[in-house]
Amino acid sequence: MATVIAKTKYVRISPQKTREVLYLVEGKSPLEAIGILKNLPQRPAGYIAKTIASALANVRSRKLPEENFRLKSLVVEQGPRLKRFRPASMGKAVSVVHRTSHLKVVLSDEWDKK
């Protein structure tokens, strides 16, 4: 009946791109999810794998059996947006928004063990 949480600070990649990769590993064991993410070419896969590894390290630090844990929830929230301006034609300035993601991984041993 244990739950372990790991969060990242803001990763400079859009939440929409991150969610596309996140759906591939939902409900898997942490080691299986990291194995899948290591073989994906998308950039968010590395950040997600690093966050899952951090959650797994939290399990190990509590001296709990890691084979009982599954990914209960993977959440990507929007972080602060970096607003910049770029010159455009006729002396105008066009705004450019760099989005950031905030990752949250929850591992739990309260899953259906069928």
Q: Is the residue at 113 inside a domain?
A: no
Q: Is the residue at 29 inside a domain?
A: yes
For residue 103, what are the domain limits?
3-108
Model pTM above 0.75 = yes
Q: Please write the tens of the pLDDT for every residue from 20-74.
A: 999 999 888 899 999 999 999 999 999 999 999 999 999 998 888 888 888 888 9
Q: Is the residue at 114 inside a domain?
A: no
Q: Is the residue at 39 inside a domain?
A: yes
**Helix, coil or strand: residue 85:** strand
Q: Is the residue at 92 inside a domain?
A: yes
Please count the structural domains in the chain: 1
CATH of the domain at 33: 3.90.470.10
pLDDT at position 19 over 90: yes
Q: Is the residue at 16 inside a domain?
A: yes
For 94-101, the CB contacts below 8 A with 24+ separation are 98/12, 99/13, 99/14, 99/15, 100/10, 100/11, 100/12, 100/13, 101/10, 101/11, 101/13, 101/14, 101/15, 101/18, 101/44, 101/47, 101/76, 101/77
* Cβ atoms of residues 48 and 22 within 8 Å: yes
Q: Is the residue at 43 inside a domain?
A: yes
Q: Please write the tens of the pLDDT for every residue from 93-102.
A: 999 999 999 9
